[in-house]
Amino acid sequence: MTSARLAALSLAAALLAGCGIAGSADEAGTGLENQVCQQEDVPAGFRRQTAGDLTPHNLADLGPGPDQRLRQLAAAGLRRGHFAYWKENIGTPPFDPPLDIVCQVLEFDSAPAAAAFVQSMRPDPADLSTRTLTWLPEGSRTVFEAPSTLEPPARAFAIRAEDTQTSVDISALVVPDGRYVRTVYLGGNGRRGTIVDAAQVQQRMSARLK
């Protein structure tokens, strides 16, 4: 698996095409489907495009030194994951570019392993690209940690990446919950969703999973 350099119109389209791990919207998966956002968790006007499982190999292959990174992910206790990709429906022109939502869950060996994974995240493109399922255009990349509207240990990041063909702006909110780590990405080509919007999706998921 390689992260292909594609001229993407959205974060998630590039992510799924580049990773080559997308499944159908009705794919059965490995039992983690309930841990990612469902229709009731996302804002009105979003439609699920696809979903699928992911492995530590998938994440390791997204960054440099995949063999070394795979060993690090194994040492961190990462077992498996799942994602779902949602796209905003748009009306007739003129309209703003559609937003994308990617919800990802990673399962770890234990709750302490999941919490440590989130705590050790650094606001760096190379680090985030192999910790969470984020495909970033090659070229100019900036990441900074943003204030989270959720209590720690939740963490929020603002990501911008662009090359000669595309530019993406993403707000990401990462929340550990027991042995799971759930991430909500919200943004797209030339348009960023807010951390507040991502937090609302996280809060709906958390309430549903209690």
10 Å Cβ neighbour count for 118? 18
Distance CA(136)–CA(210), nearest Å, equals: 33
Per the model's pLDDT, the better-predicted residue between 42 and 60 turns out to be 42
Q: pTM, whole model, 2 decimals?
A: 0.84
pLDDT surpasses 90 at 126: no
Q: What is the pLDDT of residue 88?
A: 93
Q: What is the pLDDT of residue 19?
A: 43
pLDDT surpasses 90 at 113: yes
Q: What is the mean pLDDT of residues 180-191?
A: 89
Q: What is the pLDDT of residue 49?
A: 93
Q: What is the pLDDT of residue 1?
A: 30
